Amino acid sequence: MRLVVRTLSELCITAGALVVLFVAYLLYWTGVQADSASAAQIDTLQREWADTPVAAAPARVPAPYVTGKGIAVMYVPRLGRDWKWPVLEGTGPDVLKQGLGHYARTAPLGGTGNFAVAGHRRTHGDPFKDFPRLRPGDAVVLTDGTTWFTYRIDRGPYRTVPADTAVVDPVPRKSGFDGPGRYLTLTTCDPEWGSSHRLIVWAHLDATRPVTDGRPQALDS
């Protein structure tokens, strides 16, 4: 009996240690990895932009997005003055470990339609941890190295189920938009440590500004 009790106790201690290590991995190590990966993605984008003559940008045909490659950098002042994440093409697990992901079937940045982006609520850097704080009127600013795009949130956070893929339609039914336009959708998981539902915000393109004119006011207010 003592041997059985001792064995069970050791198994419980081992299981508990594994649980603690797994939680530490989720809370800490995935964040370290995401911070490093996202910084590398932003650095790569900035070096590519530095090698491209900005003056030639309006005449340049944008290259097709490539899965796993960075396409823009996003800023959301409501989520913090230092909040800055790269947006990569695709929404697969490997992509979302490095930053935010652009839904491949949605519009390009600044284009007519719906530029839709997903991000983790928790783990892998917690980019959308404070997603519920977003409110109508908040700015979401992106740059592709040639232009600043300032979107303004119109509705959200709206809670729905993962199967509700209509939230990233060109004109999402429940967004309040009544016709074609230049829209932005952000999505993340809900509840905070689960994935049974999704939180959504919808925004419209409010202004554009060449990078040569400096940062938009939304980032400095």
| Catalytic positions, written as ranges | 120, 189
Question: How far, CA to CA in Å, does 148 sit from each of 61, 98, 103, 212, 217?
Answer: 17, 22, 20, 10, 11
Q: Which residues contact 204 (CB under 8 A, 6 or more apart)?
A: 151, 152, 154, 177, 181, 182, 183, 184
Cα–Cα distance between 54 and 170 in angstroms, integer?
29
Token match 């700015």: residue?
A: 139
Beta-strand relationship, 84-89 and 100-102 = parallel
Cα–Cα dist 21/27, whole Å: 10
Pairing of strands 182-190, 197-210: antiparallel
Cβ 216 vs Cβ 207: under 8 Å: yes
Tokens 């952000």: give the residue: 186
**Buried b vs exposed e over 139-169: b needs ≥16 C-beta within 10 Å?**
bbbbbbbbbbbbbbbbebbbebeeebeebbb
